[in-house]
Amino acid sequence: MQLVADHLQKKFGAITAVAGVSFTAAPGEVLGLLGPNGAGKSTTISMLAGLTKPDSGSVMIDGVTLGTGADPSKRRLGLVTQEIALLEELPARMNLEFFGGLYGLAGRALMLRITAVLELTSLADRARDPPSEFSGGMRRRLNIACALLHEPQILLLDEPTVGVDPQSRNAIFDTIEVLAGEGRTLIYTTHYMEEVERLCDRIVIVDHGKVLADDTLAGLLASAPVANKLTLKYDLPPDDAALAEITHLPGVTQVDLTGTELSVSATDLGTAAPRVLERLAARGFSCQELTSRRSNLEDVFLALTGRTLRDT
């Protein structure tokens, strides 16, 4: 199912939380909504889930405008909230029965769905235990399972990995990849660029309620005026002639020498790095230490906003 956010706008008093956000999520696509805290991601998700009515703009599911309240289109949506909204004292199975009931599921159909989501989230052996006895990661997985009972074709995940250990995070990622493989549309909000880089087919970067960029990971990295960086340390720093030679090598975009440390920026490290090392060695400059770093979404965000994702 296709989800379209069309010029969504939402104000809270004098504060504009979302200012004309537009994007389209295609079936089977994992769309990442990346931005720092307070960028407007959760408000956008609230409007996409039919919880908050936009001041202007609309949300459409396969061409049908989504409303709030008892709008039947909500049956196509599943929401995984940022807060772990579970009945802590009731067994996991009873939690699932409750959330399934909210979507009209009952009897055998409900039991089959409960079995399926418990298997998917690897919680089948803990179905009788209450979430209060679960680890943080297990509670997050149950939180996701509750949103999957009614088999939504569009799943909205609002920072689903906050506060979980790496192992549980990987389990959540596996679940998301399975869901995407089944052809569901997934909207994934986070401020962790590593998660977006791993999971998302397309990335929408938002800040101050506005869309700054909307592209694939490769597209975003290519569009950013930053490059992959190679850092070399020498006992004896390269001379001017050596620097001039490597500056003109194909793919090299920038060369900086600070003391004995040489930084080389390149569009493709795979081809540029061996050439740089070879030329410098030919001129008698032997490298003592080498590090490389590929450009990432942090660099893209920095280039777009002048800030890092984490210092906002």
Applying CB under 8 A, the residues found at the interface with other proteins are 46, 49-51, 69-75, 77, 79, 81-85, 87, 89-90, 94, 97-106, 146
Kindly tell me which of 106 and 281 has the beta carbon lying closer to other proteins: 106
Number of neighbouring beta carbons within 10 Å of residue 181: 9
Q: How far is the CB of 125 from other proteins (least distance, A)?
A: 22
Closest separation between CB of residue 177 and other proteins, Å? 23
Interior CA angle at 164 toward 159 and 168, to 5°? Answer: 105
Closest CB to other proteins among residues 36, 50: 50
Q: Which residues contact 24 (CB under 8 A, 6 or more apart)?
A: 2, 3, 4, 5
Nearer to other proteins by C-beta: 50 or 54? Answer: 50
Query: In the bound complex, what is the minimum distance in angstroms from residue 287's beta carbon to other proteins?
Result: 53
Structure tokens at 282: 């030919």
In angstroms, what is the minimal distance from the CB of 102 to other proteins? 4
CB count, 10 Å around CB of 107?
7
Secondary element (H or E) of residue 117? helix 107-120
Closer by beta carbon to other proteins, 76 or else 169: 76
Nearer to other proteins, 101 or 270 (CB): 101
Query: 177 exposed, middle or buried (CB, 10 Å; 0-12, 13-18, 19+)?
Result: middle
- Smallest separation, CB 162 to other proteins (Å): 12
Angle at 113 between CA 110 and CA 117, to 5 degrees: 140
